[in-house]
């Protein structure tokens, strides 16, 4: 089954404790992206990657890092989480072959930073 998976689905942590949210897709997509969803703000892009070892900042990159060492994986790293990073996070991927292809989304990770 074609899918985007994220782990963990739920995470409660404390300020300053480094964490990683994993994202993996099995569709051989070149393009992957991370979003955060906050009430009234919709989805805002954090980082995106057009291919292995190619990443770039989205609209709200502060406090986040990413890496793309393999085509299927795109982990999101919070080196020192803060309460304002409490949010719902989504990973997405799409095939860059056609530039108008829709994105496929993971199920989301709900993060709470105390």
Chain positions 14 to 33 lying near other proteins, rule: CB under 8 A, are 31, 33
**CB 30 → other proteins: shortest distance, Å?**
9
**Nearest Cα residue to 7 out of 109, 112, 111:** 109
Residue 75 CA to residue 65 CA, distance in Å, equals 8
Contact 21, 36 (CB under 8 A): no
Choose the binding region for other proteins from 19-27, 60-68, 78-86, 92-100 (rule: CB under 8 A).
Answer: 92-100
Region near other proteins per CB under 8 A, out of 15-23, 67-75, 77-85, 98-106: 98-106
CA 71 vs CA 13, 14, 32, 33, 55: distances in Å: 29, 31, 9, 12, 12
Positions in the binding site for other proteins (CB under 8 A): 4, 31, 33, 35, 40-45, 48, 50, 58, 90, 92, 96, 99-100, 102-108
């Amino acid at each position: 089954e074609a899918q985007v998976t994220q782990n963990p689905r739920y995470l409660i942590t404390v300020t300053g404790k480094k964490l990683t949210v994993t994202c993996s897709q099995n569709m051989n997509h070149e393009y992957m992206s991370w979003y955060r969803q906050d009430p009234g703000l919709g989805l805002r892009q954090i980082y995106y990657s057009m291919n292995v070892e190619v990443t770039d900042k989205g609209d709200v990159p502060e406090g986040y890092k990413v890496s793309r060492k393999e085509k299927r994986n795109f982990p999101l790293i919070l080196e020192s989480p803060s309460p304002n990073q409490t949010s719902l996070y989504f990973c997405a991927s799409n095939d860059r072959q056609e530039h108008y292809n829709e994105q496929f989304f993971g199920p989301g990770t709900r993060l709470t930073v105390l």
